[in-house]
Amino acid sequence: MRVDPVTGLLDAARYLPSPNCDERPAGMDIDLIVIHGISLPPGQFGGPWIDALFTNTLDPAAHPYFQTIASLRVSAHLLIRRDGDLTQYTPFQRRAWHAGVSEYAGRSRCNDFGIGIELEGVDRVPYTDHQYQRLAAVIPALRQAYPAIHPERLAGHADIAPGRKTDPGPAFDWVRLRRLLG
């Protein structure tokens, strides 16, 4: 698995471009990976809804919850589904809109220097073996492409937006991920 340095795309991922991204600030090193959890509708897995949210095509009439989020303009760099399937929405060199108001290690605006990886899941349901295996393969590819991402530069959305976000939640096994990463 590798990141194409020209396109910023991961060769193992299906690419579905999101309009919800822009240029990173000039000279900004990518040095953080932010792990998120997402399910749409909440607590349900599968279906086209995450893709629709990140591509601004979510039908607010398809589920009552969608009426509350259909106007959001958000994206991530990658989504890892429950079966390990990978979708990329934003080239890594561009700024995806995943972190919102955020701070990590004294620096605000984590979208500027972070890569957002969504895991299909919810805070209190264990993530799958496929997801851990895929994430453990993606992270070294990102570190190879972006050497400023040191091993300790992994955070959950809850870590960069405490009190506002809870994902990937207590069901995410950080020890397991670090063990897989070696």
Instruction: Give the number of residues written for the chain.
Output: 182
- How many angstroms separate the CA atoms of 56 and 45, rounded? 19
DSSP conformation class of 126: P
Cβ–Cβ under 8 Å, residues 110 and 104: yes
Catalytic site includes residue 118 = yes
Q: Which of 23, 103, 118, 120 is catalytic?
A: 118
Nearest CA-CA partner of 116 in 178, 171, 170, 54: 54
Three-state SS for 171? coil
What residues act catalytically? 118
